Chain A
Amino acid sequence: MIEIKNLNVAYGPRLVLKNISLDVKTGETLALLGPNGSGKSTLIRALSGVAPTASGRLCLAGRDLAGLDAAKRARLMAVVPQTVSLPPAFTVWEMVLLGRTPYLNFLGQISAKDEEIARGALAKVDALSFAERRVGELSGGEQQRVLLARALAQATPVLLLDEPTTHLDLQHQIGLLELVRNLAREENLTVVIALHDLNLAARYADRVALIVDGEIKALGTPKEVLQPEMISAIYHWPVQVLPHPFLDTLLILPDAK
């Protein structure tokens, strides 16, 4: 679905992503892992067309993304940003309707079909009950679900998530990622998700890419990539990697130094 070939991204003279090549299959969930500042978010931004690509190719379903305008791109992929401060005056409903932008004319006239899709998106994240509330009154977990609903309203085959769980508590972290995984399965979405938490990546990703200093250090299933030696070297801290006692997933535990 997504093909990235020899992608370089530079902010001024500084190369932030170096020679990234990566394929993501349809229906697959790929987690981007790596220390702070390694380039995970930049890769999400480059895919969504808001980071300047110095060289390389980005293709989606065989189409080169370079020539696409913002609206066409937004019909192919939607982004769930980090929970940053959202404009508080919007209601949840107004905000989710904005997700229909790539299908609207310049004036943003909403059709009955747009409303139906937006309502469906709110239902999927279980947010219909607070559709009339203002975004500023929501909790962090609710805001993140509404951001997901807005992305779903874009009705794209690809979903990009940029550290969506960073400001959430345990329950909401798991809740959000369960939701994303179920939606990805039900609707055969291709998901790329930048994550901080190695345990969450191990549990919810089909494959993980470890990015360090703008380069892919390792790529494969969580079990292949999340080796204790590798993680210890990258994060400069010894770790233990254990199998979960009941679930088919790994536990990454920081060791004593």
Chain B
Amino acid sequence: MPKSLRPFLLSILFLLISVLFSIAIGSVFISPVDVWQTLTGQTANETFKTIILEIRLPRTALILLTGAALAGSGASYQGLFRNPLADPYLIGVASGAGLGAVIAMSIQWPYSFFGLMAVPMAAFIAGMLTVFLVYWIARVGQSVPTTNLILAGTVFSSFATALTSFLMLRSGGELRRALGWLLGGLSLGGWGAVLALLPYVIVGLTMLTLSGHALNLLQFGDEQAQQMGLNASRAKTFILIAASLTTAAAVAFAGIIGFVGLIVPHIVRLWWGGDYRRLIPLSIIGGAAALLLADVVARVIISPQELPIGIVTALAGSPFFLWVLRRAKNQGYW
């Protein structure tokens, strides 16, 4: 087996196990055998059928797409801004998208497919606007200093979050439900959300996966990248749009889930190196698997209640990441 394929096989195996867990485990445990028989139509157990096809599968698909989106765009943001602390959260795209989603929810859309699309569209547009606003504020002449970017992103994030809270408090009942949804409650559920999220994630993550070589060049700075033959500003805009597209879609359908976008790319980097042509797809697979596991834990740990998934990602993700960091063999892995 070529050495370069090993990380992909391992992470895909990890993903398959996570998917199985996600379908099997919940308030009712369904054994892998039953899962298989239900999926292949070999069983007459209607309860299992309902649980798996109408509850667990769409939820699994939604979490998988969200984890993939967050880790894939997180890895890209880190590469784009050449900063190990960058994640979709930090520069404000998630809270901007959240604000957009809440504004859209405050308008009473009819519950139709179009109504369902209005919220993610608003989240997406607001997320994109946030990125460009933060980028524009942080810009000094030709360059965008990382410190400025983080400061502008963090401050705008706080502003957007405050505005979101204000809107929700002012509106009373209807929007208060939005708060739960925004903080990682995946109540929107069902196959509709999955289908609406799918195109954004596929397009965005494909764009990012194709940007690996450009991101490698950008690690040397815009100038050197340009001198090696990359149209740096065009490449950066392309990546920024793709990462924002992906993040905004994830926030719109699954709420704001921190940490996955920060930690998964770092673990991939620590284990398998910083080549973005591999880092992005591996982060996508790893992010999907990690968020699925976090969701399983969120479902069972205080069953029958559900823990917000963001708590699990931070609670389990932080120690795990610190452990990986402690064991890191290469000093200059970043």
Interface residues, chain A, with chain B CB atoms under 8 Å away: 11-12, 45, 48-50, 52, 69-71, 73-75, 78-79, 81, 84, 86-90, 94, 98-99, 101-102, 104, 106-108, 134, 136-137, 150, 154
Contacts and interface: CB of A to CB of B under 8 A. Distances in A.
Given A106-B214, A107-B213, 8 more contacts: A45-B223, A50-B223, A78-B228, A88-B333, A89-B273, A94-B275, A106-B210, A108-B212
B274 A89 contact: yes
B217 A98 contact: yes
A79 B227 contact: yes
- Which 9 A-B pairs rank lowest in CB-CB distance, beginning with the nearest? A108-B213, A88-B332, A136-B332, A74-B229, A102-B229, A89-B274, A87-B219, A71-B229, A79-B227
B229 A70 contact: yes
Contacts of B231: 69-71
Interface string B313-334: 0000000000000000011111
A70 B216 CA distance: 16
A106 B273 contact: no
A99 B331 CA distance: 25
Contacts of B273: 89
B139 to A, nearest CB: 13
Contacts of B334: 88-89
Contact of B226 (A50, A78, A106, A154): A50
A246 to B, nearest CB: 38
28 contacts: A48-B227, A50-B223, A52-B142, A69-B231, A70-B226, A70-B229, A70-B230, A70-B231, A74-B228, A78-B228, A81-B227, A87-B219, A88-B334, A89-B269, A89-B274, A90-B219, A94-B275, A98-B220, A98-B228, A99-B228, A106-B214, A107-B210, A107-B277, A108-B212, A108-B277, A134-B330, A136-B332, A154-B228
Centre residue among B214, B228, B231 by max chain A CB count within 10 A = B228
B237 interface: no
Contact of B228 (A52, A86, A102): A102
Nearest to B269: A89
B228 A49 contact: no
Nearest to B219: A87
Given A81-B223, A89-B273, A101 B230 contact: yes
Question: Considering residues A45, A48, A87, which has the most beta carbons from chain B within 10 angstroms of its beta carbon?
Answer: A87
Contacts of A69: 231
Nearest to B273: A89
B83 interface: no
B223 A136 contact: no
Contacts of A74: 227-229
B141 interface: yes
Given A78-B227, A79-B224, A90-B274, A101 B332 contact: no
> Which of A45, A52, A79, A98 has most B Cβ within 10 Å?
A98
Nearest to A108: B213
B332 A137 contact: yes
A108 to B, nearest CB: 3
Interface string B128-169: 000000000000011000000000000000000000000000
Given A94-B275, A137-B332, A101 B226 contact: no
